[in-house]
């Protein structure tokens, strides 16, 4: 069983355990057999007292504002940026290593921003600041595909449009999309709820995610630029994005145009992407094949299709990618960081 007696496994705490990412992390710990010698579940005072099951054992959710992190080896924070900014320093001061799934510390110079398939070397030593940041849900699958392309052909720039699911707003986003869809189907003239999304997301698309910046871009779009540069170690990488919310329950999609320094061969590109760990290329044998959030398959893989090298500019190519944003884009990447830390003896 993953519950391991003695001192050979870490003591873990899940902050935001009742949220969409937190409950996904619990499932992944069970599915992947991640070994621990203690697990604590933490959330807001509103959720404290609830009971959740981990590996067949019932655990009562504890309140964050009174929680003692001194017996925690690694804490996963998935409760939003404001919560992380307030409580992560306290957890670190009490000795916990924090894997933070928010934007709170990603661009701090001393905080590693890690996708294990791309820059796992960042995990060879414990960070001095006690925090490892988990990247944005759309950045993670993109950089996993950009890394081998950069190593083979070099990248001049990337233009990306994202199509992001309602689950990116957690349980509230999923519930609102379901309610708004039902109301609209029953009465197209009715006014559906529009709290998590504005305007209402049902039967619509919203080209605006997160806050608006002075540049005219949104914070979500800026994250993709800044985080890609940091993860890949390419401070001058040119990435520009339009991030769009779509009426899909779960699974983010992206259309990406990548222009390289040299001419790209499509067959070699497909072989290169297909050789990446946990990547499925759908048109490897059937040109034009593509994944969708509902049909992609293995939720722990990045799914790629519609790979097209431009005949007018053979240095550039298009691809379509789909990834489970709650798993690959959040909980799975965080857990793979912890797995890599255990493997390296850092935890």
Contacts of 210 (CB under 8 A, 6+ apart): 218, 219, 220, 223, 243
Q: Tell which residue, 143, 169, 39, 132, has the closest CA to residue 334.
A: 132
Cα 39 to Cα 145: distance, rounded to the nearest angstrom: 34
Known binding-site residue numbers for phosphate: 106
Q: What 3 state SS string does 253-279 have? A: EEEEEEEECCCCCHHHHHHHHHCCCCE
Nearest to 94 by CA among 40, 33, 30: 40
Name the residue among 243, 231, 223, 258 with its Cα closest to residue 81. Answer: 223
Tokens (6 digits) for 291: 């994944």
Q: Cα(42)–Cα(52) distance, rounded to whole angstroms?
A: 11
Binding site listing for substrate: 164, 245
Residues 214, 312: Cα–Cα separation, whole Å: 35
The number of angstroms, rounded, from the C-alpha of 301 to the middle of its chain's C-alpha atoms is 12
Tell me if residue 137 is catalytic. yes
Question: Which two three-digit tokens encode residue 302?
Answer: 């990045």
Q: Which residues are annotated as a binding site for NADP(+)?
A: 18-21, 46-47, 167-168, 325
Q: Is 252 an active-site residue?
A: yes
Integer Rg of the chain from CA: 20
- Do strands 238-245 and 252-260 pair parallel, antiparallel, or not at all (unpaired)? unpaired
Catalytic residue (choose from 137, 243, 260, 301): 137
Annotated binding site: 18-21, 46-47, 106, 164, 167-168, 245, 325
Catalytic residue among 243, 252, 301, 303: 252
Residue 318: name the closest of 288, 276, 296 by CA.
288
Give the C-alpha separation, 102 to 329, whole Å: 11
Cβ atoms of 84 and 102 within 8 Å: the answer is yes
Active site residues: 137, 252
């Amino acid at each position: 069983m993953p519950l391991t007696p003695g001192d050979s496994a870490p003591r873990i705490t899940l902050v935001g355990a009742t949220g969409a990412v937190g409950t996904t992390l619990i499932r992944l710990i069970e599915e992947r057999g991640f070994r621990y010698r203690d697990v604590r579940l933490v959330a807001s005072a509103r959720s404290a007292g609830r009971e959740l099951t981990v590996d067949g054992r019932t655990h009562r959710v504890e309140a964050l504002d009174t929680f003692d992190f001194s017996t925690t080896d690694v804490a996963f924070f998935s409760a939003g940026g404001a919560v992380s900014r307030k409580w992560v320093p306290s957890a670190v001061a009490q000795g916990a290593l924090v894997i933070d799934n928010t934007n709170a510390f990603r661009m701090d110079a001393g905080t590693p921003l890690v996708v294990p398939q791309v820059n796992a070397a960042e995990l060879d030593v414990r960070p001095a600041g006690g925090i490892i940041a988990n990247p944005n849900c759309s950045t993670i699958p993109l950089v996993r595909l950009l890394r081998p392309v950069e190593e083979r052909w070099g990248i001049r720039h990337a233009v990306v449009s994202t199509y992001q699911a309602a689950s990116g707003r957690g349980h509230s986003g999923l519930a609102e999309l379901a309610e708004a869809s039902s109301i609209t189907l029953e009465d197209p003239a009715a006014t559906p709820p529009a709290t998590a999304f504005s305007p209402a997301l049902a039967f619509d698309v919203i080209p605006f995610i997160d806050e608006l910046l002075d540049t005219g871009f949104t914070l979500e779009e800026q994250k993709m630029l800044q985080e890609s540069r940091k993860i890949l170690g390419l401070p001058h990488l040119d990435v520009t994005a339009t991030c769009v919310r779509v009426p899909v329950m779960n699974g983010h999609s992206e259309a990406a145009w990548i222009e390289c320094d040299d001419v790209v061969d499509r067959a070699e590109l497909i072989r290169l992407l297909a050789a990446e760990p946990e990547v499925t290329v759908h048109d490897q044998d059937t040109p034009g094949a593509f994944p969708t959030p509902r049909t992609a398959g293995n939720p722990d893989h990045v799914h790629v299709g519609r790979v097209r090298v431009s005949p007018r500019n053979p240095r550039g190519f298009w691809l379509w990618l789909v990834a489970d944003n709650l798993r690959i884009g959040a909980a799975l990447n965080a857990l793979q960081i912890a797995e890599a830390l255990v493997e390296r003896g850092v935890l």
